[in-house]
Structure 1
Amino acid sequence: MMYGLAWDTSTPLAFATSILPILLIGLTVTVKAALAGFAIAIVMGLVFALLRRSRIRAVSWTTAFVVEFLRDTPLLVQLFFLYYVLPDYGVVMPAFLTGVLALGLQYSAYTSEVYRGGIDAIPRGQWEAATALNLSRLTVYRDIVIPQVVPRIVPAMGNYAVAMFKETPVLSVITILEMLGLANMIGEQTYQYLLPLTMVGLIFLLLTLICSAAIHQLERRLPKAGVPLK
């Protein structure tokens, strides 16, 4: 029994029907964690990408080190560090916030490389024209660079969004009861793992298919010439 629900294991259909509500609760946690983490990733990724292009070497080199560190260390290690090590130094965060930050920070390292590739693809002549017109760096990035970068990076960003949904089960190690964690708990209580895990796999499949379809639609609708920001 969990959340006041008793599992009906008399038939596979009855069992599936009885555990579906609890799995849907886990699904909401999964979706919230993935969306919040992705929001952090796309914002911090852009920040990292711009800082790496700084003319101040101390800033660009430090940012490059942070990005490589985040990208080259396992998410599990980062989760343990944030959740179990930082409290020793007075930094205590709720489990859900910790999980979202860990997801967002690691994937910000990936998205920063996507942004960097998109920015580097801008023709050199446009940078030279902006310099000749004496445009500020803010104006160049806001009105020229970012609008052209967005359509180019949508497919890669979509891949990372899908990957982030599939990474959320890792959050169970810091007590976040997302969908897979709840399925395992149901299996432990009923000694029947096949149906709960199969249902979770199918839900993840449906979720990623919906996400992929949305990304494809967005990619088709965005103007190839660039996205006006004002």
Structure 2
Amino acid sequence: MQPAITFEEFWNWDSAAEALPQLLSTFVETTLLITVVGTLIAVTLGLLLAVLVEALPGIVTKPLRFVMDFIRMTPLIVQLIFVSYLVPVSWPLLWVGTVVIGVHYSTYMAESYIAGIASVDKGQWEAARALSLSQGRTWRDVVIPQGIRATLPSLGNWAIAMFKDTPFLFGIGVIEMVTEAQQYGAATFRYNEAFTIAGLIFLVASLVTAFAVRRLEKALVY
């Protein structure tokens, strides 16, 4: 029988202390940056797509729907690699990957927005027409605020999902936190510490995001 693995063989506190600063630095400089900027792109573009789908005639929305479905149903890693070969070599792959992941998740958020818009009571539209509000003002002041309130929990979930998908950027050579953990393990043969710390950072950041979304959701309830 093989001897049981001791705790010292499984976990080394010195290696953990050495890996932690490197992983935290990569998390802030790369993983968090990708998530924040990607979420801003997804939230903004997703809302624009939802409004266009709901406001424009079918002859325009059907091709738009097709493009959205194509992006949503194509694997993110494939999109990242494909786009990375299309753009000029001089373009920073970090920003290329951030835009791709933002556009990818904008299609998911657009569907959430569409559901939120559909949940707005028809009486709100009728009241806006009775007040002679323009279509633009009706969307801006009546429909979109209510739709966003209904959509907020779903948007938060998509933001967390995007955060957990940032490791896919390794496919185009971006060194994010998981890749940093893998490289640390390859250099020191201490994979357990590096990947455990990376997983804990993902967990803590996801919990903080979920808590912030819940607080924002409660603040917007009226």
Question: TM over 0.5, yes or no?
Answer: yes
1:54 partnered with 2:55:
yes
1:56-102 deviation digits (Å, cap 9, x = unpaired): 33321121111101111110111011101x13xx5863111111111
Deviates more, 1:144-153 or 1:41-50: 144-153
The number of residue pairs the alignment matches comes to 212
Contact 1:48 1:112 in 2 (8 A): yes
Give me the whole-angstrom Cα distance separating, in 2, the residues matched to 1:92 and 1:140.
44
Contact 2:19–2:193 (CA<8 Å) still a contact in 1? no
Give yes or no for contact 2:178–2:198 (8 Å, CA) kept in 1. Answer: yes
**2:116 and 2:147 in contact (8 A); partners too:** yes
Per the normalisation by structure 2, the TM-score is 0.90
Unaligned runs of 5+ in 2: 1-8
Give the Cα–Cα distance (whole angstroms) in 2 for the partners of residues 141 and 91 of structure 1. 41
Tell me if 1:128 matches 2:88: no
Deviation, 1:103, is 0.9
Alignment of 1:57-72 (within 5 A): 57-72=58-73
Stretch moving more, 38-47 or 168-177: 168-177
Aligned equivalents of 1:130 and 1:74: distance in 2? 41
* Post-superposition CA distance 1:87-137 (Å, at most 9, x none): 3xx586311111111110111000001110010111112222323433211
What is the CA–CA distance in structure 2 between the aligned matches of 1:206 and 1:72, rounded to whole Å? 29
Shift of 1:196: 0.6
Matched ranges for 1:1-230 at <5 A: 12-28=12-28, 29-84=30-85, 86-87=86-87, 93-224=91-222
Question: C-alpha separation between the residues in 2 aligned to 1:138 and 1:92?
Answer: 40
Letter in structure 2 aligned against 1:203: I
Equivalent in the alignment of 1:227: none
2: CA distance, partners of 1:99 / 1:168:
9
Alpha-carbon distance between aligned partners in 2 of 1:54 and 1:143, rounded to the nearest angstrom: 15
Structure 1 stretches of 4+ with a deviation exceeding 3 A read none
Quick one: which amino acid aligns to residue 55 of structure 1?
L
Q: CA offsets, 1:148-169, max 9 Å, x none?
A: 1222111111111111110111
Amino acid paired to 1:83: S
Q: Is the 8 A contact 1:12 1:195 kept in 2?
A: yes
One-letter identity of the residue aligned with 2:140: R
Structure 1, 149-158 or 68-77: larger mean CA deviation: 149-158
> 1:193 & 1:91 partners in 2: Cα distance?
33
Deviation at 1:44, TM superposition (A): 0.4
In structure 2, give the amino acid aligned to 1:103.
Answer: I
* Cross-structure match for 1:228: none
Paired with 2:43 and 2:146, the residues of 1 have a C-alpha distance of 16
SS of match in other structure, 2:77: helix
Secondary structure, aligned partner of 1:134? coil
- C-alpha root-mean-square deviation of aligned residues, in Å? 1.7
Structure (1/2) with the larger helix percentage? 2
Query: Given that residues 83 and 174 in structure 1 are in contact (C-alpha distance below 8 angstroms), is that contact kept between their aligned partners in structure 2?
Result: yes
Identity of aligned residues (%): 39
Contact preservation (8 Å) 2:15, 2:190? no
For the residue of structure 2 that corresponds to 1:69, the secondary structure is: helix
Q: Which of 125-134 and 73-82 deviates more?
A: 125-134
CA distance in 2 between partners of 1:68 and 1:75 (Å): 13
